[in-house]
Amino acid sequence: KNQVEQSPQSLIILEGKNCTLQCNYTVSPFSNLRWYKQDTGRGPVSLTIMTFSENTKSNGRYTATLDADTKQSSLHITASQLSDSASYICVVKGAGNMLTFGGGTRLMVKP
Amino acid sequence: DAGVIQSPRHEVTEMGQEVTLRCKPISGHDYLFWYRQTMMRGLELLIYFNNNVPIDDSGMPEDRFSAKMPNASFSTLKIQPSEPRDSAVYFCASTYRGGGTEAFFGQGTRLTVV
């Protein structure tokens, strides 16, 4: 069964600190992996996309990594800001256009 | 393009009533997805359409749920009769054929069944 597991479920950090969110998946075949950011009361918005051959991709203060061998991805947030407070969802695209969603990590950045 | 448009944004209804959620996908997108999001279960795929045809409805929880896509620019998700456990945020998303495509989400409809 295709699954995407994220950890931690929730995280509280102080403004300016770094943090790393984890995503493990069992989706097969694998097409790509996206990290989405979902602000409270809004729909998810894509941050980064990783394909099989990519190991690292950055989008501003967000850096995503992918290890296709171990089927793990991480999202690193550098110098966190209050606006980073949101849920971060790992989504893996498999066969066709099927998307498997992780449960998300709820991040709270405190001043 | 205004993005994926969902209506209403909020819906409060009494148990047993019929609820209809609406979605207008992004023009040119040929895939449309309906998701339900709760604190306990996260985002769950309910059903998706390709070129207006339902492809996979295995996520639809019960016969009380039905979805239609009469044309490329409109879809509905109906719950009849509604129950308190249906309370959730329902998202519609659209995308287009091609590798690595992003699913674009609407703002969601927050449904509360009392």
How far apart, in whole angstroms, are the C-alpha atoms of residue A20 and residue A30? 23
Residues forming a β-bridge with B3: none
Indicate the Cα dihedral angle B110, B111, B112, B113, nearest 10°.
180
How far apart, in whole angstroms, are the C-alpha atoms of residue B77 and residue A72? 34
Q: Which pLDDT tens digit goes with each residue over B44-89?
A: 889 989 899 998 888 898 899 999 999 999 999 999 999 999 999 9
| Contact map slice: B 40-79 vs A, CB within 8 A | 41-45, 48, 50, 56
Q: With contacts defined as CB-CB under 8 Å, which chain B residues touch A104?
A: 42-43
**Per the CB < 8 Å rule, is A101 touching B100?**
no
pLDDT at B111: 97
B16 burial via Cβ count (<10 Å: 0-12, 13-18, 19+): exposed
How far apart, in whole angstroms, are the C-alpha atoms of residue B20 and residue B11? 9
List the structure tokens of A22. Answer: 């984890």
B101 part of contact set with chain A, CB < 8 Å: yes
Residue B59 one-letter amino acid: G
pLDDT at B99: 39
Q: Which pLDDT tens digit goes with each residue over B98-108?
A: 535 678 899 99
Q: Which pLDDT tens digit goes with each residue over B13-54?
A: 999 999 999 999 999 898 899 999 988 888 888 998 989 999
How far apart, in whole angstroms, are the C-alpha atoms of residue A15 and residue A4? 28
B59 burial via Cβ count (<10 Å: 0-12, 13-18, 19+): middle
How far apart, in whole angstroms, are the C-alpha atoms of residue B44 and residue A48? 21
Residues forming a β-bridge with A88: A37, A105
- Reply yes or no on whether the pLDDT at A52 is more than 90: no
Residues forming a β-bridge with B54: B49
Q: Which pLDDT tens digit goes with each residue over A68-108?
A: 999 999 999 999 999 999 999 999 988 766 778 888 999 99
Q: Identify the residue among A23, A47, A57, A99 best suited for mutation to test binding to B, counting B beta carbons within 10 A and taking the highest.
A: A99
Angle at B8 between CA B26 and CA A105, to 5 degrees: 75
What mean pLDDT, rounded, does chain A reach?
A: 91
